[in-house]
Structure 1
Amino acid sequence: MDIWPEFQQDLERYRDAVLSIKRSIRLYEECIESLIHQIGSIDFDSAQSLFDELFGMQSELATMLYKYEYEPEKRIRDLIYHLDRDDFYSRKYWHEKFSAGLAWPE
């Protein structure tokens, strides 16, 4: 029984999928970095739509981690953890941090 050809195809698909996932995560990172910078550059009330987008992206990354069990790098896991709560007080807290120059939740 020669299973190598099929196994090799599976490995190639896996490699391609992992590379695609890593590229997508990097795009998320770039977008999140931009959102954080924008949030820190404007007043709290004007930042609400940006917060909506930021917390939406956090939710999608959390789905990747918890539903699909894809373990991203620590930086993304930290973001998922720290931005888990989306309410007025957490938005106020993060707006103050981002306005003070924090570039990534820690």
Structure 2
Amino acid sequence: MQIKTISEVLLENVVIHDVALASIRQCISVLDAQAKDLIEEIQNSDFEASGAIFVRLHEIQTVLAKVSFQHNISLGPRLDDFVREFDRLDEPFIREYWHSKFIAGGVWPTSE
């Protein structure tokens, strides 16, 4: 049996970390695109029909919040804004607020 040195173990773990981080970044990018698509769907829906869309949007926000706050992975300014702005999408009056904004032509991210 071969005994690995601490240096070898460290280098192996760095490679694993790099692969995992690349995969995490890809997943974050997909969630970003999905959020944009969902917001476009909300813009084309009446409030009642947008309920399930808001549920999915809130699910994305929740996952990104965990990635950011529990695992300390940077999302970037736009997704940081997304996590902050859509934190309370479980509240009907917040959904109404955002629905009216999106119907009026508002977009997210607001900085673009």
Q: Same fold (TM over 0.5)?
A: yes
Q: Runs in 1 of length 4+ with deviation above 6 angstroms? A: none
The one of 32, 35, 39 aligned to 1:36: 39
Q: Work out the percentage of aligned pairs sharing the same amino acid.
A: 28
User: Post-superposition shift, 1:45?
Assistant: 0.9
TM-score by length of 1: 0.89
1:10-69, Cα deviation, whole Å (9 max, x unpaired): 111111111000000011011111100000111111101101111111111111112222
Q: Which has the higher contact order (CA 8 A, sep 6+)?
A: 1
Higher-Rg structure is 2
* Kept in 2: contact 1:58–1:79 (CA 8 A): yes
TM-score by length of 2: 0.85
User: Post-superposition shift, 1:5?
Assistant: 2.3
The one of 26, 30, 37 aligned to 1:27: 30
* Kept in 2: contact 1:82–1:105 (CA 8 A): no
CA RMSD of aligned residues (A): 1.4
User: Is 1:58 matched up with 2:61?
Assistant: yes
> Which residue in 2 is equivalent to 1:84?
87
Write the letter of the residue equivalent to 1:82: E
> Which residue in 2 is equivalent to 1:93?
97
The one of 16, 29, 34 aligned to 2:19: 16
Which SS does the other structure have where 2:98 is aligned? Answer: helix
Bigger mean CA deviation after superposition, 34-43 or 69-78: 69-78
Q: Which runs of 5+ in 2 are unaligned?
A: none
Q: Which runs of 5+ in 1 are unaligned?
A: none
State the distance in 1 between where 2:106 and 2:32 align. Answer: 15
